[in-house]
Structure 1
């Protein structure tokens, strides 16, 4: 027997390996392109053809951007619930001075995410990191009925301890506190994550990890990098916070960041008015996903006691539970309708072809297009993939601003002409379009735009402009690395 194995074993192994290799490649050609973006399909096929024994298992692990069937069924229930409850939030008319194309954006958002345009809102912008956390804690300290908090990353450290304490104190005095935090986004900060959970448990706060890493929790495999990336705080259904900032120290409690001096720069918006019910309704959908319980409509949708504001607002949810990429469609709609100016502020800019062409087209037809991104990098592949787009943008006439090191410009907002702002949690990358649950807020009106222009000017003053001549001088190795990472970023 052993003699036969020694004689024929190598030959059988070689033929077997060849056969499996061939089966993997043929299967990939049939399966990978199915209902997938061409760029993503080509990237996956290239990975599988070069390294079939590694690429194909990775495809099985990460190749499906859909939620499992049970969770998709929950999403259908949630979508229906959102449509029904959003009917109780009155529609608002656009300001007469609004451009004609803005109504089509409002209709698009309503059809995609169910939420109406609401008027009589007020909005305040905040960009000072520690101060913003303290202001959110002050709002929680004044809570009388409920506090709803959802953040991609939450932790209890020296900077956020006042925020966590405010939640605990609110629960102790009878306020119903509900907290969600993304599982992967939070538990990787282990010590401060555990400290937060201990505090919540000690004060009997109901809390759940969002999108928990339990691959077969909903009856089928769910890829682990589908995440809840939203940042939302609602107090008593009267005050809401939205934007880019997580509840963690500015260096994300990482020794490597402290050694490099990295600090995150954020933009948050504090809201009052009818739009708060929209934010609350969005939170309630995530709460249902993780707790299995619907919040009563009387808790979620309330008449706002403050309708003195003059701003028109609309929440735009997006994520793998939706059929289309809601945030991508909105951004492209706005870019193609811009007449004078587009300013994009994003930490991660890895667009799909549709967005890249929308921005290049805008620049070529005379729109002033500005892109503000970080010079420092906290994610190797994303940073290099982002850099691969600079040449095309610069040649089209896009102005690229690099934010000063060692800060990470983590703010996420877009302004179009003097008409509309979109601010929220969504990056300008394929991950935010396809894999992450995001929350964006569209705000109309020139009053808010004035404040946004001030924020943009503050950030621009801390930037260096990148020129095409300077960019063309980078090394061959740098160019090659950028292009390889661009290809890797397409694998979704």
Structure 2
């Protein structure tokens, strides 16, 4: 009897191994021939599945697939179509040199055209921008905007914590919902994994509507876990918008284990808010298919014509978005275009610096061409593999003349880039492969000489007071242990 059971067990294990091998081969065929990945990413996945047959297959199913062709946001309102019409008209004008731009802005006209083409990122003028690099200041303005809401509050965030700040924000939203204000909120499933459903109960009872993006119905069996809605957007009454890197939680006020939290967020007042509104509505209509927002034209209260008369700013802004459902990597392409057109300086702040080969080459060529390229990364890791990959890629650039800096005053989470002190990008997208291909992201591309100079001044000031330069000499002398960590982290960087 024991021998029979042993034979059955052996046969079953042989059959199971055969199934796993066949599934691995199928996954490899998919990676190579159907998904058209970069050679580095494809090879990494093939090696993972070859050396770890079962685990590699599981990792691929949960973290390796993409959403190209899924058309998640294919349902358009008339307002979306009107936005696309504006983008087409602006694209025609800019390619015919008929779109009036100042001399400083005209050097980036091809970047503007690119974002118009890839994402219908309409160029808006005369926007007013308020910059926040400190969490306390940002959330004071954030709370003030919520309290002043007269018609609606649209909130879309990757993370909200069940802590003091998170509860305060939910209480404010509950208060406004009880007053009859339309309150809609979207949070990412992975970003709110530790938050209990009861956290939003009072807000829902007051009339607020909360939706989870890609909900984890069975958390450990959700194959969309790897695709995160990383956007951080607030739109109030269609006239005030916030976008940037701060999530909602005490740690973003500097009260967490990483210490002081250095980030970048902006408050927008002007026509650029309409683009943030459109982004939110498209995301909402996917996440809340039973309660979609219908916008028939620009007369909607979500796109108010009034409310911009007091705008004093003169900034040109494009709001660009990208995500894993589309092969059109608008934000990544915008980054690449800005790098290629910079003539004087490129200043980058990012917590995660994992460029692909074209971006790495672009930065190398810029530095070799005499452009002042400086990159600021954290001095402490929140994700060890990413931290060592950061240093590995930065090390490649030092020999070309790029200057690297480690931010010492807490943790830098800012996703910002300034080019020639004219063009600035601020938003949710890091300078890494995850943001380029796997996350749903939104960035503001700002063209304004005064604002660009301000960003440059802040960047250079922080290099002097809060950073330590990573020199080529020091990098060459790193220990064998560090080299091993960098090598392993870099090997897995295409799938981090």
Q: Same fold, TM exceeding 0.5? A: yes
CA separation of 1:94 and 1:64: change in aligned 2, threshold 3 A: farther
The reply on whether 1:474 has 2:478 as its aligned counterpart is yes
Could you tell me which runs of 5 or more consecutive residues in structure 2 were left unpaired when the two chains were aligned: 94-98
Alignment match, 1:198: 201
The reply on whether 1:404 has 2:401 as its aligned counterpart is no
Equivalent pair of 1:400/1:466 in contact (CA under 8 Å) = yes
Query: Which residues in structure 2 correspond to 1:7-26 (within 5 Å)?
Result: 19=18, 23=22, 26=25
Q: 2:288 aligns with which of 291, 295, 298?
A: 291
**Residues in 1 aligned to 2:211 and 2:9: alpha-carbon distance in whole angstroms:** 53
Equivalent pair of 2:147/2:172 in contact (CA under 8 Å) = yes
**Residues in 2 aligned to 1:79 and 1:320: alpha-carbon distance in whole angstroms:** 22
Alignment match, 2:303: 301
Alignment match, 1:84: 82
Alignment match, 1:75: 73
The reply on whether 1:333 has 2:337 as its aligned counterpart is yes
The reply on whether 1:126 has 2:141 as its aligned counterpart is no
* Offset at residue 210 of structure 1 (A): 1.7
**Residues in 1 aligned to 2:185 and 2:37: alpha-carbon distance in whole angstroms:** 35
* Offset at residue 53 of structure 1 (A): 2.3
Equivalent pair of 1:24/1:56 in contact (CA under 8 Å) = yes
* Offset at residue 238 of structure 1 (A): 1.0
**Residues in 2 aligned to 1:97 and 1:253: alpha-carbon distance in whole angstroms:** 41
Query: Which residues in structure 2 correspond to 1:63-462 (within 5 Å)?
Result: 63-66=64-67, 72-78=70-76, 82-87=80-85, 93-188=99-194, 190=195, 196-214=199-217, 222-250=223-251, 257-258=256-257, 261-292=258-289, 293-296=292-295, 297=297, 298-303=300-305, 304-306=307-309, 307-405=311-409, 407-460=410-463, 461-462=465-466
CA separation of 1:365 and 1:459: change in aligned 2, threshold 3 A: same
The reply on whether 1:465 has 2:469 as its aligned counterpart is yes
Segment drifting more, 379-388 vs 346-355: 379-388
CA separation of 1:29 and 1:291: change in aligned 2, threshold 3 A: closer
* Offset at residue 16 of structure 1 (A): 5.2
Q: Deviations over 1:176-230 (max 9, x none)?
A: 1111111211232x3xx656413412422111112222479xxx97421101101
Could you tell me which runs of 5 or more consecutive residues in structure 1 were left unpaired when the two chains were aligned: none
**Residues in 2 aligned to 1:22 and 1:290: alpha-carbon distance in whole angstroms:** 37
* Offset at residue 42 of structure 1 (A): 0.5
**Residues in 2 aligned to 1:165 and 1:88: alpha-carbon distance in whole angstroms:** 39
CA separation of 1:49 and 1:104: change in aligned 2, threshold 3 A: same
Equivalent pair of 1:342/1:370 in contact (CA under 8 Å) = yes
Q: Deviations over 1:77-124 (max 9, x none)?
A: 249863434546995945322354411111111111112101011111
Equivalent pair of 1:370/1:399 in contact (CA under 8 Å) = yes
| Secondary structure, counterpart of 1:119 in structure 2 | strand
CA separation of 1:458 and 1:94: change in aligned 2, threshold 3 A: farther
Equivalent pair of 1:422/1:442 in contact (CA under 8 Å) = yes
* Offset at residue 17 of structure 1 (A): 7.1
Equivalent pair of 1:277/1:301 in contact (CA under 8 Å) = yes
Equivalent pair of 2:183/2:208 in contact (CA under 8 Å) = yes
**Given the two structures, how large is their TM-score scaled by the length of structure 2?**
0.89
**Residues in 1 aligned to 2:67 and 2:232: alpha-carbon distance in whole angstroms:** 22
**Residues in 2 aligned to 1:323 and 1:45: alpha-carbon distance in whole angstroms:** 22
Equivalent pair of 1:130/1:159 in contact (CA under 8 Å) = no
**Given the two structures, how large is their TM-score scaled by the length of structure 1?**
0.89
The reply on whether 1:33 has 2:39 as its aligned counterpart is no
**Residues in 1 aligned to 2:407 and 2:279: alpha-carbon distance in whole angstroms:** 32
Segment drifting more, 448-457 vs 322-331: 448-457
Task: Give the count of matched residue pairs.
Answer: 477
* Offset at residue 409 of structure 1 (A): 0.2
Q: CA RMSD in A?
A: 2.7
